[in-house]
Amino acid sequence: MAGHSQPVTVVTGGAGFLGSHLTDRLLKEGHRVIAIDNLITGHLTNIEHLAGNENYRFIKQDVTQYLYVPDEIDFVFHFASPASPIDYLELPIPTLKVGALGTHNALGLAKAKKATFLLASTSECYGDPLVHPQREDYWGNVNPIGPRGVYDEAKRFAEAITMAYHRYHGIDTKIVRIFNTYGPRMRLRDGRVVPAFIGQALAEMPLTIFGDGSQTRSFCYVSDLIDGIFRLSQADFHEPVNIGNPREMTIKQFAEEIIRITGTKSSIEYRDLPVDDPKVRQPDIGRARKILQWEPKVQFEEGITTTIDYFRQWLARAKQR
C-alpha cells in the first residue's frame, strides 16, 4: 500500500446504491475518492451531492475495459456489478463480464499500485443453501446454468481470482459477502423486495409475493453494512466475511410490516416462485463479530421508516418533473 498522508481510494460502481454510500463513508474518513462507473445501473443522482468536492473525482468508464488511473492509489473497492434480479436477468453478459473481466482489471490496478483490494461479493454465493444460517466455510448450492447463475457464478469466479491474486501475487485482498441490504438510493424498480414492496404500498397497489411467502430474508440497513465493509478494509484478514443482519423474517412477514408502517390499504397477491429462488437466507456473523468487532446497530423499524420516507420524497419529486 502506498501509504501517503491522505489515502487515495478507487471505488468501481461508485454511482450505485452501495458504491455511493461507501464513497460518503470514505470521504468522511479522510480519503480522496476516485469513482468509476459506466452508469449501466448506477445513477448520477446518487453522487450529485459530491459535485465540487475537491476530494472526489468521477470517471465514466466500463471497468471491463482496461483501467488506467495515473494517481497513486491505496485502496481499490470493486463494487461494479448489476446486483438485482431484474438487472442480471436483463443484462446476463455484462454481469458475467464485470465479475470476470472487471474483477481482473480491478485486481490488475491494485497490483500495479500496490494497493489493498476489497471485493464486494454476495450471499448469492451460497445459492439455495442447504445449511442454515450460512457460514463462510459453507461452499453453497448453486445452479451454474440457471437464470440466476450469471450473477452467482460471476461472484464466485470473482472470489476465486481475488484469492489467486492474494496467494500468487501477494496482494492484500479482502472479500465481503453482502446479504440483503436496504436504504436510501435504492432504485424503486430494481426488482429487489424492499423497493418493490415499498413502491407498491405507496401506490396502494397489491404487494406481490412470489411463492407462498414462507421463504426468509435478513435485511441489513445500509449504514451498518458500510461500517462493516470499512472495518474489513482495515483488517488483516483475507478470507470471505459475511456482513448482514441475522434478524430473519419471512417475505410474508416483511410484506405485512410494510403495509403496517406505510399505513397503506394494499392487499397481498401471490405469484409463482422464480427458478432457483433461495428458500432461506440468514448470515452467520460470528466471523465479523470476532475479527471486526462488528454487528448491526440500526433496528428494522428505524431503517425501514427512513427508507420509506426516502421513496415518498423521491416519488413526490418525480411527480413535479
Catalytic residue IDs: 151
**In a 3-state reduction of DSSP, which class is residue 34?**
strand
Cα separation of 98 and 104, whole Å?
Answer: 9
d(Cα 15, Cα 231) in Å, to the nearest integer? Answer: 21
Grid cell locating 156: 464466485
Query: How buried is residue 27: exposed, middle or buried, by Cβ count under 10 Å (0-12/13-18/19+)?
Result: middle
Return the C-alpha cell found at 23.
Answer: 464513497
C-alpha cell at 98: 464485470
Q: How far are the Cα atoms of 20, 60, 82, 101, 107 from residue 42, in angstroms, in the given order?
A: 9, 11, 9, 19, 21
Q: Characterize the bridge pairing of strands 8-12 and 32-37.
A: parallel
Residue 167 has phi, psi (to 5 degrees) of: -75, -40
